[in-house]
Amino acid sequence: MAQEERVMEHPLFTNLARQAALNGNEVHAIDQVPFRILSIPKGHDLVREGDDANSCIVVIRGLLATTKVNELARRQISAFHIAGDMPDLMNLHLDVRDNDLRALSGSEVARLDHKAMLNLCATQPKIAMLLWRRTLTDASIITEWLLNIASRPALNRLSHLFCEMLTRLEAAGLADGSSCPLPLTQTDLSEASGMSNVHVNRSLQELRAQKLITFEKGFLTVLDWDTLASLAGFDPSYLHLKQQRLRTRRGRTSAALN
């Protein structure tokens, strides 16, 4: 079903095999789910509030965000989605979606057939459980964002965001040591962190001045992970990553305690 010239693995498989071993039966069931590859240009909305919740997406490449605008026309980003994420899995069982899905950079996604997905869940309890589990870690991240936005001042808040993104991108194999691509504008950051773009700008300058990070041209480099993570109060356990060693490898935060 893949419309690409190269033979590609089923996107769902790439996604789930990272979490647990699947038997032949399950792999076969996954292969039966039809999908299409879509390219979304930067700034475009893939799904809109009010749309029927009939899509199911796996990010192949790029950076997307779940956004929602409130009655005062202020836009809020409630989640970032990187390669491997399933941005609207949350809407699999809900009738109408109440948020938008926007590409923050040029992105490529696989759109899985909605009915086939529901059928897959109904017939393969283990896969359903894995997908469920994914939605739960997504929810865990949103809860952490709530804590972050509600309880930390600007500098710490931004730091936390950077710590999270570097950790997630590293876990997805997209980071290079302490650097990673992060194609966000300062306005994007402001919409994700609940602060004004002006204040984001000044906080970034402060982070740079303290030699904690570099952030330019959509590229983030963490210069001093320990200080940044402790400023942010960052504890990656809420990400529920399989490979906790990633954290210890870079995480002198905990190593320093020994």
Cβ neighbours for 141, distance < 8 A, ≥ 6 positions apart? 79, 164, 238, 239
Which listed option, DNA, a copy of itself, none, makes contact with residue 170 (CB within 5 to 8 Å by class)? none
Give the sign of the dihedral formed by CA 243, CA 245, CA 246, CA 247. positive
Instruction: State yes or no: residue 202 binds DNA (CB under 7 A).
Output: yes
Could you say whether residue 76 binds a copy of itself (CB under 8 A)? yes
Handedness of CA 30, 89, 175, 239 (dihedral sign): negative
End-to-end C-alpha distance for the chain, whole angstroms: 52
Amino acid of residue 69: V
For 17, half-sphere exposure in the C-beta direction (CA atoms, 13 angstrom radius) is: 13
Range in contact with a copy of itself (rule: CB under 8 A) among 35-43, 116-124, 162-170, 205-213 = 116-124
Q: Which of residues 92-111 bind a copy of itself (CB under 8 A)?
A: 92-96, 98-99
Cα–Cα dist 19/142, whole Å: 20
133, 199, 240, 252: which one contacts DNA (CB under 7 A)?
199
Query: Is residue 217 near DNA by the rule CB under 7 A?
Result: yes
Residue from 83, 89, 171, 195 in contact with DNA (CB under 7 A): 195
Is 5 near a copy of itself (CB under 8 A)? no
- Give backbone dihedrals phi and psi of 164, rounded to 5 degrees, phi first: -65, -50
254 binds a copy of itself (CB under 8 A): no
Of residues 173-232, those binding a copy of itself (CB under 8 A)? 193-194, 230
d(CA 150, CA 229): 18
C-beta of residue 56 within 8 angstroms of C-beta of residue 112: yes
User: What residue spans of the chain are helical by DSSP H?
Assistant: 11-17, 24-31, 114-123, 125-151, 154-171, 186-193, 197-209, 225-232, 245-250, 252-255
CB of 19 closer than 8 Å to CB of 242: yes
Using CB under 8 A, which of the segments 23-31, 63-71, 217-225, 250-258 binds a copy of itself?
63-71
Q: Would you count residue 154 as binding a copy of itself (CB under 8 A)?
A: no
Q: Is 246 in the site for a copy of itself (CB under 8 A)?
A: no
Stretch binding DNA (CB under 7 A), from 12-20, 94-102, 153-161, 236-244: 153-161
Nearer to DNA, 187 or 243 (CB): 187
Q: Which residues bind a copy of itself (CB under 8 A)?
A: 66, 68, 70-72, 74, 76, 78, 90-96, 98-99, 121-123, 125-126, 128-129, 132-133, 135-140, 142-143, 145-147, 149-152, 193-194, 230, 233, 237-238, 240
